[in-house]
Chains A and B, each alone.
Chain A
Amino acid sequence: MTNEIHTPSSEFAREVASVPGGEAINKCIQCGICTASCMVARASEKYRPRKIIQKILIGKRDEVLRSDQPWFCMTCRMCEENCQEGVSPAEIFHAVRFIAAREGHIPNVFRNTLDTVLTDGWLLKDAYSDFIEDERDDLGLEVDLRFNDGFVKRVRERYFSPDMREAEV
Chain B
Amino acid sequence: MDMLLYRGCTAPVRLPAYEAATIAVLEKLGVNLIEFKDTNCCGAQYVESLSRNAFAAMSGRILALAEKEGLDILAICGACSGSLKINKYHLDNDPTLRDEVNSLLADEGLKYTGKVRVRHLLQVLHEDIGIDAVERAVVRPYDGIRMAAHYGCHVTRPYEIVQVDDPENPTILDRLVEAVGGVAVDYAGKTRCCGGPMLAMDEGIASAIGRQKIQNIAEARADGLVTACVFCDIQLTQVQFGEGAIDKRIPVITIPQFLGPALGIDEDVLGLELNKITPSDIMASLQEGRQ
Q: List 24 A-B contacts (CB under 8 A).
A: A39-B209, A39-B212, A43-B205, A47-B205, A71-B49, A72-B205, A74-B195, A75-B153, A76-B193, A76-B197, A78-B192, A81-B168, A98-B50, A109-B200, A110-B49, A127-B14, A146-B37, A147-B38, A147-B40, A152-B40, A154-B107, A155-B104, A159-B53, A160-B50
B residues 139-196 in Cβ contact with A at 8 Å? 153-154, 157-158, 167-168, 191-193, 195-196
Known interface pairs A44-B208, A94-B49, A139-B271; A68-B104 also in contact (CB < 8 Å): no
Determine whether B51 belongs to the interface, using a CB cutoff of 8 Å to chain A: yes
Q: How distant is A1 from chain B, measured CB to nearest CB, in Å?
A: 27
A51 within 8 A of B: no
Asked whether, in the complex, the Cβ of B153 is within 8 Å of the Cβ of A78, the reply is yes
Distance between B289 CB and nearest chain A CB, rounded to angstroms: 25
Question: CA–CA, A115 to B57, complex, Å?
Answer: 16
Using CB atoms, name the residue of chain B closest to A80.
B158
Query: Are B50 and A166 in contact, CB atoms less than 8 angstroms apart?
Result: yes
- List B contacts of A127 (CB < 8 A): 13-14
Contacting B47 at CB < 8 Å: which of A44, A81, A114, A142?
A114
> CA separation between A20 and B48, bound complex, in Å?
12
Which of B47, B49, B153 makes the CB contact (< 8 A) with A76?
A: B153
- Known A-B contacts A81-B168, A139-B271; A117 and B41 likewise in contact (beta carbons under 8 Å): yes
Query: Shortest beta-carbon distance, B266 to chain A, in Å?
Result: 11
Which of B41, B45, B209 counts the most chain A CB atoms within 10 A?
B41
A132 to chain B, nearest CB (A): 6
A106 to B58 Cα, complex, angstroms: 20
Complex-state Cα separation, A124 to B67, whole angstroms: 26
Contacts known (A132-B16, A159-B53); A121 close to B104, Cβ less than 8 A:
no
The answer, among B58, B193, B202, for a CB contact under 8 Å with A39, is B193
Q: Is B108 an interface residue (CB 8 A)?
A: yes
| Contact residues of A between 130 and 151, Cβ < 8 Å to B | 132, 135-136, 139-142, 145-151
A residues within 8 Å of B by Cβ? 20-21, 39-40, 42-44, 47, 68, 71-72, 74-78, 80-81, 88, 94, 97-98, 101, 106-107, 109-110, 113-114, 117-118, 121-124, 127-128, 132, 135-136, 139-142, 145-152, 154-155, 158-160, 164, 166, 169
Minimum CB distance partner of B196 in chain A: A74
Nearest-CB residue, chain A, relative to B82: A75
Look across to chain A and name the residue whose beta carbon is closest to the beta carbon of B213. Answer: A39
CB distance from A52 to the nearest CB of B (A): 14
State which size class the interface on B falls in: 35 or more
Which of B20, B50, B108, B201 is the most central at the interface, judged by chain A CB atoms within 10 Å of its CB?
B50
User: By the criterion CB–CB under 8 Å, are A101 and B198 in contact?
Assistant: no
B46–A117 contact, CB under 8 A?
yes
Q: Complex formed: what's the CA distance from A163 to B14 in Å? A: 29
List residues 23-45 of chain B with CB under 8 A from any CB of chain A: 23, 35, 37-41, 43, 45
How far apart are the CA atoms of A103 and B219 in the complex, in Å?
Answer: 47
Q: Which residues of A contact B153 (CB under 8 A)?
A: 74-78
Partner of B201, one of A71, A78, A123: A71
Minimum C-beta distance from B205 to chain A (A): 5
Is there an interface contact between A159 and B57, defined as CB atoms closer than 8 Å? yes
Report if B119 contacts A (CB, 8 A). no
A77: contacting residue among B19, B20, B48, B157, CB under 8 A:
B157
Give the shortest distance, in Å, between A82 (CB) and chain B (any CB).
Answer: 9
Shortest Cβ gap from A45 to chain B (Å) = 11
Contacts of B88 in A (CB 8 A): none
Which B residues lie within 8 Å of A136 (CB)? 12, 16
Q: Which residues of A contact B19 (CB under 8 A)?
A: 139, 141
Whether A40 and B209, one on each chain, are in contact in the complex, defined by CB atoms closer than 8 angstroms, is yes
Most buried by A among B51, B196, B197, B202: B51
Chain A residue at minimal CB-CB distance from B54: A159
Across the two chains, which residue of chain A brings its CB closest to B211? A43
Residues of A within 8 A of B209 (CB): 39-40, 42-43
Specify the chain B residue showing the minimal Cβ separation from A159.
Answer: B54
Interchain CA distance A147-B200 in the complex, whole Å: 23
Question: Smallest CB-CB separation from A158: which chain B residue?
Answer: B104
Q: Distance (Å) between the CB of B103 and the closest chain A CB?
A: 9
Whole-angstrom distance between the Cβ of B11 and the nearest chain A Cβ: 10
